[in-house]
Amino acid sequence: MRRVFWVWLLCAFAWGVAYSSEDYPPARWVPAYSGNYTVSNRPTTYPIRYVIVHVVQGSYNGCISWFQNPSSRVSAHYVIRSSDGEVTQMVRHKDIAWHAGNWWYNCRSIGIEHEGWVHEPRWYTYSMYYSSAALVRHICRTYGIPRSREHLLGHVEVPGATHTDPGPYWNWDFYMQLVQSAAILEEASVPITLRPGETATAYLRFRNTGDITWLPTGANPVRLGTQNPRDRFSPFYTPGEWISPNRPAAVVATTRPEQYGDFVFTLSAPERYGIYTESYQLVREWVTWFGPIVTFRIDVVPWDIVIDNTSASFSVWGTWSTGTIATDKYGADYRWTSTNPSSSAYARWYLNVPRDGYYDVYAWWSRGTNRSTAARYEIVHRDGTAVKVVNQQTNGGQWNWLGRYRFVRGTGFVYLRPNAPSGYVVIADAVRVVGPFNPMRR
């Protein structure tokens, strides 16, 4: 793979393409024909005060080829692809591209071409907007250009222009939100499902696209705050971990413009099941809220715990054998022993329920004609011991409900005893506990 990459890179240089722009490193460098722009020394010769938005009325590759064509007599500093926002620089910032149709504006602006046609809005993809806005922020920061519509113009707005681009479908409101945004969400890792009382770590990464350094402490720290509604108390508030019920976390470290700021916090699921929508936004305390509102969904569902016979929470007393023959077993194997009315042997599953409440208890066995028809399960719960006698010759290879019982956190046992009529075996395979629920039947 590495050999293929180097061959490709050598070919790229052989074609005169350098894949690293000096002015904007994320862009690739493909120079326009030298007769299609004016060599200069900006911003010494002319101040750079504007960015002008164009639409190609053609394809990305076609535009690049046209700017390299000696016959075209036109150029722009950048071209952006619709499908993925790839950026190609073709004229250095210091030089004057021929793009605006107005020499005064040519001298004082940077032109950006966008792949597409003005009357076909499908070309105006989010990737293109996002990539173009990032480029504009970089240009504005480099030359001190205000990020406003007075300085970010469409080609049609240049005095004397005969072009209509970027056209009626260009979403200026959305584009300016991206350009003016002080933060953009770059990465998120949040739990999709939690059980009551369960905790999980959430992680959000933002790029600081503003002009102010984010500080984790001090007079105006940058924090993550709750939204929808603003400053609500979150049901996932984690005491001792969060700053307050409406402030999950502060930025982990000092984050300068164009750097990435991380926010890491713990979510503790509420007791009530359901679908929860969590919304957060950045806030510079005592100054302003800013950046996008980040919203995600968390499903709070019952605990569903399986204790197999191979678990550390399973144990036996007496003589038990290991079986693997049954095709309807749970997991890799199961334990079995012969029945005897006077037997003191048992198999035991420790439930160790995670919360106080009522839980459904299930058992799994493999069926067979030599199984006991009177296998005795005992469920030790908050209010005593319940006995369920089952026929293991039927209903094998599935979860069989033994009832709903109340347990205290960290307690609960299920016993299987072989003290039944002789001549059979009992199968100790797996037990499952689901809950907590209200005490009513499922």
The CATH class given to the 304-437 domain equals mainly beta
For all residues of the chain together, what is the average pLDDT?
93
Q: Cis peptide before 436, with omega less than 30 degrees from 0?
A: yes
CA distance 154 to 311: 67
What band does 11 get if pLDDT is binned at 50, 70 and 90? very low
- pLDDT mean over 55-81: 98
pLDDT tens figures, 247-282: 999 999 999 988 999 999 999 999 999 999 999 999
State the fold for domain 2-180. Answer: Lysozyme-like (3.40.80)
pLDDT at 440: 58
Cβ(66)–Cβ(80) below 8 Å: no
Q: What is the pLDDT of residue 10?
A: 30
- Does position 218 have pLDDT exceeding 60, yes or no? yes
Arithmetic mean of pLDDT, 225-241: 97
- Give the tens place of pLDDT for each residue, 332-382: 999 999 999 999 999 999 999 999 999 999 999 999 999 999 999 999 999
Strands 87-89 and 28-29: parallel
DSSP output for 136-194? HHHHHHHHT--SSTTTEEEGGGSTT----TT-TT--HHHHHHHHH-SEEEEEEE--SEE
Please say whether the beta carbons of 32 and 90 come within 8 A.
yes
Is pLDDT above 70 for 432? yes
For the chain, which residues make up each domain, given as ranges?
A: 2-180, 184-301, 304-437
Looking at residue 366, what is its pLDDT?
97
At residue 53's C-alpha, the angle toward residues 116 and 206, to 5°, is 95
When the candidates are 3.30.56.10, 3.90.1300.10, 3.40.50.300, 2.60.40.10, the CATH number that belongs to 184-301 is 2.60.40.10
